[in-house]
């Protein structure tokens, strides 16, 4: 009787020596295949991609390691066990399935506030040797001291051009952005030092384990402005009021941050508009109109 090798469909260089006994498919996002590996030393998580963009896995590994280095012990970041250009193996997190402790949201806010106290010397990528990306979009992450220009010229403008070219948003949006461009410094907020940001902090990239501990996964980390993460947390929901209240108590946001949220939400909205269409183009247009006043 023949038996199927549970790791036969996984790259050998990711599983060799891990003593894998069984592999079970799990959710891995829009473009990746993911599995829970049962091994002699306990469960592991593996994510693979077919022909990923060059440097994509290396960038994720760099982000995970940077977050793990700077996050407080209360805020978990999975350990990288092994990685290649095609995949990554991480420690397994047993999710709590909604069984949060009473202080889970507050602890998330305090932990993120502590993480955001990690400062860099310039805005930009974690490693100059790695390509810059937002998902599959190439972006310029070379070091700069000008955050407002970084946000406008390296994020918002290129993504808006791509969305218009793809027919995902009305060309009028480009005119609205140019009306707002002279206010880019005001819209980016008061100057702050470069901060280590997760870069894609929607609720799906925050896990809560069976003990109520918060974990950060799937980062697009770089040295940016902390309002990047705050705006993303508010875009799709999933973070409780206690989380943001605890954050602001621990590491107060600059006055007027609520009014800046639509500006900081433009990059993720535009990425979603190009990738998925639907109502994301309209949501981007509404954000631009709101900012224009």
What mean pLDDT is predicted for residues 256-285?
Answer: 96
pLDDT digits (tens, 9 = 90+) for 110-137: 999 999 999 999 999 999 888 888 877 8
Q: What is residue 1's predicted lDDT score, i.e. its pLDDT?
A: 41
pLDDT band at 225 (very low <50, low <70, confident <90, very high): very high
Q: Which domains does the chain have, with CATH numbers?
A: 98-293 (3.90.1200.10)
CA-to-CA dists, residue 60 to 95, 133, 149, 239, angstroms: 21, 10, 25, 23
d(CA 223, CA 53): 22
For 172, residues 6+ apart whose C-beta sits below 8 A from its C-beta are 285
Given a cut of 50, whether residue 70 has pLDDT beyond it is yes
What mean pLDDT is predicted for residues 218-238?
Answer: 96
Mean pLDDT of the chain: 92
158 close to 267: Cβ distance less than 8 angstroms: no
pLDDT digits (tens, 9 = 90+) for 4-63: 555 566 888 898 889 999 899 987 666 788 999 999 989 999 999 888 888 889 999 999
What mean pLDDT is predicted for residues 137-154?
Answer: 94
pLDDT band at 150 (very low <50, low <70, confident <90, very high): very high
Q: Per DSSP, what are the bridge partners of residue 207?
A: 215
Per-residue 3-state assignment (H helix, E strand, C coil) for the chain? CCCCCCCCCCCHHHHCCCCEEEEEEECCCCCCEEEEEEECCEEEEEEECCCCCCCHHHHHHHHHHHHHHHCCCCEECCCEEEEECCEEEEECCCECCCCCCCCHHHHHHHHHHHHCCCECCCEECCCCCCCCEECCEECCCCCECCHHHHHHHHHHHHHHHHHHHCCCCCCHHHHHHHHHHHHHHHHHCCCCCCEEECCCCCHHHEEEECCCCEEECCCCCEEECCHHHHHHHHHCCCCCHHHHHHHHHHCCCCCCHHHHHHHHHHHHHHHHHHHHCCCHHHHHHHHHHHHHC
Measured at the CA of 215, the angle between CA 108 and CA 112, to 5 degrees, comes to 35
Query: In this prediction, what percent of the chain has a pLDDT beyond 90?
Result: 79
What mean pLDDT is predicted for residues 254-275?
Answer: 97
d(CA 161, CA 178): 12
Q: What is residue 137's predicted lDDT score, i.e. its pLDDT?
A: 80
Q: What is residue 8's predicted lDDT score, i.e. its pLDDT?
A: 62
137 against 82, higher pLDDT: 82
Question: 200 an active-site residue?
Answer: yes
Given a cut of 90, whether residue 289 has pLDDT beyond it is yes
What mean pLDDT is predicted for residues 275-291?
Answer: 95
Q: What is residue 2's predicted lDDT score, i.e. its pLDDT?
A: 44
- Residue 82 corresponds to which tokens in the numbers above? 């092994």
Burial status of residue 82 (CB atoms within 10 A of its CB: 0-12, 13-18, 19 or more): middle
Name the active-site residue from 30, 51, 153, 200: 200
Q: How many CA atoms lie within 13 A of 138 on its CB side?
A: 5
What mean pLDDT is predicted for residues 157-178?
Answer: 96
Q: What is residue 53's predicted lDDT score, i.e. its pLDDT?
A: 84
With tokens 């107060």, the residue in question is 252
d(CA 125, CA 61): 13
d(CA 196, CA 255): 21
């Amino acid at each position: 009787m023949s038996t199927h090798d549970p790791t036969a469909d996984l790259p050998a260089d990711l599983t060799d020596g891990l003593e894998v006994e069984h592999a079970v498919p799990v959710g891995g996002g829009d473009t990746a295949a993911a599995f829970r590996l049962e091994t002699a030393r306990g469960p592991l998580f593996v994510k693979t991609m077919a022909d990923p963009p060059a440097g994509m896995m290396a960038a994720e590994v760099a982000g995970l390691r940077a977050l793990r280095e700077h996050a407080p012990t209360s805020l978990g970041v999975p350990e990288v066990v092994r990685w290649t250009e095609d995949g990554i193996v991480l420690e397994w997190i047993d999710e709590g399935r909604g069984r949060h402790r009473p202080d889970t949201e507050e602890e998330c806010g305090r932990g993120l506030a502590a993480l955001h106290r990690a400062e860099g010397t310039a805005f930009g990528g974690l490693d100059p040797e790695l390509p810059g990306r937002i998902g599959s979009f190439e972006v310029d992450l070379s070091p700069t001291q000008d955050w407002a220009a970084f946000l406008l010229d390296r994020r918002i403008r290129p993504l808006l051009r791509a969305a218009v070219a793809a027919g995902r948003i009305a060309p009028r949006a480009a005119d609205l952005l140019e009306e707002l461009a002279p206010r880019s410094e005001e819209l980016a907020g008061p100057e702050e030092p470069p901060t280590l940001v997760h870069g894609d902090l929607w609720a799906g990239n925050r896990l809560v384990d069976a003990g109520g501990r918060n974990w950060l996964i799937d980062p697009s980390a770089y040295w940016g402005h902390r309002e990047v993460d705050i705006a993303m947390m508010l875009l799709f929901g999933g973070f409780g009021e206690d989380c943001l209240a605890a954050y602001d108590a621990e590491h107060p946001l600059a006055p007027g941050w609520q009014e800046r949220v639509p500006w900081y939400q433009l990059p993720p909205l535009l990425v979603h508009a190009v990738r998925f269409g639907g109502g994301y183009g309209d949501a981007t247009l509404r954000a631009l109109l709101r900012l224009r006043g």
